Amino acid sequence: VLEIHLNDERQHNCRVRVNLLGQVDELALHLKTFMATHQEAMTQGDTEAKNLVEVKVTNAINQVKKLQEQWVVTIPGNRRIEREFWQTFRSACDEVFNYRKQQQEALKKEIQSYLESKIDLCKQVETLANLEGDAIKTAPSQVKTLKQEWKKIRLDGNKSKAGPLRKKAKATEAVEDRFDKACRQVDRAYQAQLVAERREQLDRLKQKSDFCVELEQADTLARQEAQDDPEWLNVVQAAWDQLPKLDDVDLETAIEQRFQEAYRALATGESNISKEALTNKETLCIRIEILLGIDSPPEAAQARLAYQVSRLSAAMGGEERKIVDKQTEVEEIERNWYLSAAPSDQTARLEKRFRQICEMFYSQAQH
């Protein structure tokens, strides 16, 4: 009776397992057919097709796992037969599981390609950061284009949360940081070039301003020569014409006007520089002294207080003041300084004061 019972149980186990094997084979065949149907669409990058396949594979794997849980041997038979039976079932299951492995391998390659594409953009931006002179001035527009390309390189929402990408989170963050850093380097190099060009133009403007100062001061050699020899004016004009022109047309026009006024004063002996010009020069000195946080000379203390009170009143009155960085404001003060004259008896004192302040500012800026 026991032997009959055991044989019946073995046969029942066999029928159950054959049935499980058949279900797995059916799932594998159905999945294979489904994959073949959508293969072309997936190859062309059809997101909807990829999502459908992803769902189909996931469902098939879950069903196979449930079937595996039902594989129970209550009465073992021949070991060799049992082992072969299990291997056959396992191979059928692996056929379904392999689709997930294929997806994971494809995803790994896609993620690697994603990172390599972004690294390539990083290298391009880093190359731009090493440009100099006029070449760096084209860099911002190129960086803008590269940023647009950067945004186009992305994975779909599901893949961006996938395990392989999470494992490479540090690498992804490093690439993002590298790109941002390279973009900042380009911007710094570009801004440095603009500062250098503005500095060059300011130096040219200062050179022309110094020339005008020589003409405006009553006790200069130029004025004495002009009084002794009228032809000396031609020498002055020729020397002025030899000075390099400014790129900014408005600045060139303004400094040319200052020269012409000084030239006429040299020729006629009459100067029409107003006291208001002196006040403006004093104010420019005060502005830059306030920027640097240094004291004004004792004789300028009252003027400094008056300037600060006027600025406070303007602010309380609702006047909006454009906020600029210290470098830009100092450059603006310099331009105004070089374009304006002062009464000849005050020129030397003011020029010395302003020059010392500027030297102090640029010395601090370098450090």
3-class DSSP assignment, residue 190: helix
Q: Which two tokens stand for residue 291?
A: 């920027």
Whether the Cβ atoms of residue 215 and residue 236 lie closer than 8 Å to each other: yes
Write the DSSP assignment of 207-267 as a string of letters.
Answer: HHHHHHHHHHSTTSHHHHHHHH-TTHHHHHHHHHHHSPPPSSHHHHHHHHHHHHHHHHHHH
Distance (Å, rounded) from C-alpha 184 to C-alpha 176? 12
Residue in 218, 124, 122 with CA at minimum distance from that of residue 175:
122
Q: In whole angstroms, what is the distance from residue 1 CA to residue 289 CA?
A: 114
Q: What single string gives the DSSP state of each residue in 80-113?
A: HHHHHHHHHHHHHHHHHHHHHHHHHHHHHHHHHH
> Is the whole model's pTM more than 0.85, yes or no?
no
Question: Per-residue confidence of the chain (367 residues) as pLDDT tens digits?
Answer: 455 544 655 676 677 778 888 888 888 888 888 888 888 887 777 778 888 888 888 898 898 888 888 877 655 656 777 788 788 888 888 888 888 888 888 888 888 888 999 999 999 999 999 999 999 999 999 999 999 999 988 775 455 445 555 556 788 889 999 999 999 999 999 999 998 999 999 999 999 999 988 888 766 666 677 777 778 888 889 999 999 999 999 999 999 999 998 888 877 777 677 778 888 889 999 999 998 889 999 999 999 999 999 888 887 877 766 667 888 899 999 999 999 887 666 777 888 899 999 988 888 876 6
At 133, give phi and psi (nearest 5°).
Answer: 60, -140
Q: Encoding tokens for residue 81? A: 């037969």
Identify the residue whose tokens are 């026009």: 253
Rounded CA separation 172/168 (Å): 6
**233-243 pLDDT tens trace:** 888 899 999 99
Q: What is the dihedral of CA 190, 193, 198, 199, to 10 degrees?
A: 140
Question: pLDDT (tens digit, 9 = 90+) per residue, 110-141?
Answer: 888 889 999 999 999 999 999 999 999 999 99
Residue 104: the pLDDT is 83
Which has the closest alpha carbon to 58: 99, 106, 110?
99
Query: What is the reported pLDDT for 172?
Result: 84
Question: Distance between CA atoms of 337 and 343, rounded to whole angstroms?
Answer: 14
The C-alpha atoms of residue 154 and residue 289 are separated, in whole angstroms, by 52
Q: What is the sign of the dihedral through the CA atoms of 96, 165, 48 and 152?
A: negative
Secondary structure letter of residue 133 according to DSSP = G
